Amino acid sequence: MEDRNSDENGWASAAQSWIKIMDSSDHFVRQHVIDPLIDERFRALAPKTVLDVGCGEGRYCRMLRDLGGDVTGLDPVDALVDAARERDPSGSYVAGFSESLPFDDNSFDLVLCAMVLGTVNDLSAAIAQMARVVKSGGHILFVDRTSFATASHAANTPKCQDTGRNLNVVSNYLKPRQYDFQWGELQTRNWHRPLSHYMQAFLATGLTLKRFDEPRPKTGPTDAFWNYMNLPSIMTMEWRKH
């Protein structure tokens, strides 16, 4: 792996907190929105070889391998790669950064980047690298928080005086910037970028957008279900390489 600080946005320091969260099965968005989406799209695309960029502790590598994929996971944080190998000794896991993928051109039928690009400093470089390693006729499956969600998170979110609940205030939407992200004990630095930045970076590679969606949950606890339907926070795109 290149000589670079894997804790530049706090992810090495947050590794154990991330593992603890992923070992839990009660996160609504993961369980009822993202997991079903990735399962559905894998079955629809039927790739043989898969690269999971930013694989963390290997959640989606294990899931896609169980569905029949030959999966390689990559993450810049050694503790996360070690955790992935511990959970999946027969799996293939590599330490590396998304902006400089250590793979040959045209290596994978599918490149998955789920909840990753919002943590990457050089968006254009990461997308160009994914476009390089995906095979002709293959796809990049991008899943992340919507730009309205990250803009709201990047704002100093006030609380409603009547209910005490957080208000989702969107401000400075067009200004890309880092913000402090906290999820339980996990604390990192993530990026807000407007949707146009993602679109322009993908289009610059010559890829073709085949699918865009804001996926909806089909099941789940009633309160969480309707809260998500009222303010969905996940978007997904599929890009095809000619």
CATH classification number, 25-145+194-240, choose in 3.90.180.10, 3.40.50.11810, 3.65.10.10, 3.40.50.150: 3.40.50.150
**Residue pointed to by tokens 């990457």:** 120
Distance from C-alpha of 143 to C-alpha of 127, rounded to nearest angstrom: 13
- Cα 111 from chain centroid? 11
Report DSSP state, residue 73: E
For the entire predicted model, the pTM comes to: 0.93
Provide long-range contacts, Cβ within 8 A and 24+ apart, for 195-204.
195/146, 195/147, 195/235, 197/123, 198/117, 198/123, 198/142, 198/147, 198/237, 201/123, 201/124, 201/127, 201/128, 202/127, 202/131, 202/140, 202/142, 202/237, 202/239, 204/124, 204/127, 204/128
Q: Where are the domains of the chain?
A: 25-145+194-240
Q: Would you write out the chain's pLDDT as a tens digit for each of its 242 residues?
A: 667 888 889 999 999 999 998 887 678 999 999 999 999 999 999 999 999 999 999 999 999 999 999 999 999 999 999 999 999 999 999 999 999 999 999 999 999 999 999 999 999 999 999 999 999 999 999 999 999 999 987 556 667 777 776 677 888 999 999 999 988 889 999 999 999 999 999 999 999 999 999 999 999 888 889 889 988 999 999 999 99
Measure the CA dihedral 74/79/82/87, to 10°. Answer: -90
